[in-house]
Chains A and B, each alone.
Chain A
Amino acid sequence: MARRIASSPSLGLVDAAATAPVAVRGPAWDSRYTVLILFLPPALLLFTLFVVLPIGEAAWYSAFNWNGFGKPTNWIGLDNYRFVLETRAFWLALRNNGLIIAVSLLIQLPLALTLALMLAERFRGAVALRMLFFLPYILAEIATGLIFSFVYDGDYGLVASIWRFFGAEAPHLLASTDTAMLAILIVIVWKYFGFHMMLFIAALQSLDKNLVEAARIDGATRSQVLRHIVVPLLYPTIRLSVFFAIIGSLQLFDLVMPLTRGGPADSSNTLVSFLYNNGISRMRVGYGSAVGVILFTICVTFAFTYKRWFMRDE
């Protein structure tokens, strides 16, 4: 992932990255020792305490039927995993995560790429538009969710007023098992396309302009240049964008809560909101941990496979 993007800070000095770390003996030895003792443990401690151990504990707790009070004592082996897999809502959540990924790849990514190609050029308003499209990304998901629960509101929202304009009774998109997930997918595109667009713009700006120029001089048309030169050069960024879309989908939670809380009838849960609704808010530590372990396995398996298959060269 070595692509250094345009804004990357530079000291204007010779690249010294290849230089081996210092291993000077003598006067510096003491201070080197001190650094190791003082500088490393805080990070390792925090990381171990709050990231690594909890994952291990999740695996341990998932073998118990435990409500979180006292110590876990009721060992039930792998039953929690069976319970999770027998829950219809879990499979719905998994399907919804799949839907999010599909929409990210089939709609959001092409949209972001198209916009990036348009806005990477210089013209009046281009920078302003870039910023506008990026804006949703920095808004909190909670706020975004609330804004759209207004937009979708069957009595007050945009959707309602459009329907009323045509004289029909407005649908409550978020209240129907058929449309709730669709409504969330639209919000996801609204919120995240700008981020992916920015990734592509950053990549486009660091492309070797000479290649494009040369091709144009050789008589290639605009679309030929695009198809045969620009897009192939963007492959690493596309793979990156796909990676983020998938990891992002697996984490999605904040957006779902204000919109539907995973409802109606569990039709719009993601894996994390399923974990929250069925594990955390019911304090079923064992069951929730089992969901956590499943999610963890999916994330890690995906990350390793993806890196091995698609990002080998980086």
Chain B
Amino acid sequence: MSNVETTRAPFDPAVLYRALFLAAIAIFVLVPLLATGLGGFKSLGELRVNPFGLPRHWDWQNYADILFSKRYWQLLRNSLIISTLAVTLTLIVASMAAFTFAHVKFWGSSMLLSYLTLGLLFPAATAVLPLFIRVRDLGLLDTYFGVALPQVAFSLAMSVLLLRRFFRDIPYELLEAALVDGCSYIKFFRYVTLPLSRPILATVGTITFVNSWNAYLLPLVMLNTDELYPWPLGIMVYQGEYSSEWHLILAFITLTILPTIILFLLAQKHIVAGLTAGAVKG
């Protein structure tokens, strides 16, 4: 990663300083990550004397034990279920609302939109106790929906705004022509708006997915049974159990963040665009 020297002007000191600076930051970012991944290959004894170097003996046992454990896959499956529920529901509910706000004129439209926008202003944590009581009263405590539904609700504001902005860019003539031909709004939504909006749906889906996949507070409050725990909860329990056996914990961390990193490497452009666009346009 230190390979940042440019091809031109090799003796310009500014370029050298820049390269050194970038290399320093790259090391700052990389070292904790590499140490985590490598730490999983070490024994506890070696970790103590050699926390950051390459392992002297590559010990695959820590990783293998976790990969063959039911626990690891159960955590990932739970996270996947919750995130998928959240993404699916967000996309359906938000795109329907956004379509209405974008294309249907009705009294109170802008008022209702501002109402939804309120959701941008404060984090879920502010109302987490009443939220807990509500989820409990709905009988959703300790269920996937008890986590996913509040997540959807809190992601709606941003999602609706992003989608509406995009939907409104779909040419008016298209809709007009469709309506004249007797096509209904719903069919237009289904067969024109949604197919044309794949990029923005992907963006909204990415944001919702990453937020839900990484979420900790809501599952922590809503879930009690460890069979339902998503991975951020599971990894905290794991750490509590193995307190100082860092080689196991590091292997476990590595394996749980691996899906995120792989996904990121595969779809980095979309993810970066999605997350920053979500922020900028929200």
Contact = CB atoms under 8 A, between A and B. Distances in A.
Interface of A: 1, 3-9, 11, 13-17, 19-24, 27-28, 30-32, 34-36, 38-40, 42-44, 46-47, 49-55, 57-58, 61, 68, 111, 115, 118-119, 123-126, 128-129, 131-143, 146-148, 150-151, 153, 155-158, 160-161, 190, 194-195, 198-199, 202, 240, 244, 247, 250-251, 253-254, 257-258, 272, 275-276, 279-280, 285, 288-289, 292-293, 295-296, 299-300, 303
A11 B230 CA distance: 38
A28 B179 contact: yes
Nearest to A57: B130
B97 A44 contact: yes
Contacts of A139: 214, 257, 260-261
A39 B25 CA distance: 48
B68 interface: no
B269 A7 contact: yes
Contacts of A36: 100, 104, 106
Given A16-B169, A143-B235, A50 B116 contact: no
B246 A156 contact: yes
Given A43-B97, A57-B130, A16 B232 contact: no
Main secondary structure of the interface of A (DSSP, over half): helix
Main secondary structure of the interface of B (DSSP, over half): helix
Interface of B: 1, 3-4, 6-7, 18, 21-22, 25-26, 28-33, 35-36, 39, 47-48, 51-52, 92-94, 96-97, 99-100, 102-106, 109, 112, 115-116, 118-123, 125-134, 149-150, 152-154, 156-157, 160, 165-166, 168-173, 175-176, 179-180, 182, 184-186, 189, 196, 199-200, 203, 210, 213-214, 216-217, 221, 231-232, 235-236, 239, 244, 246, 249-250, 253, 256-257, 260-261, 264, 268-269, 271-273, 275-277, 279-282
A190 to B, nearest CB: 7
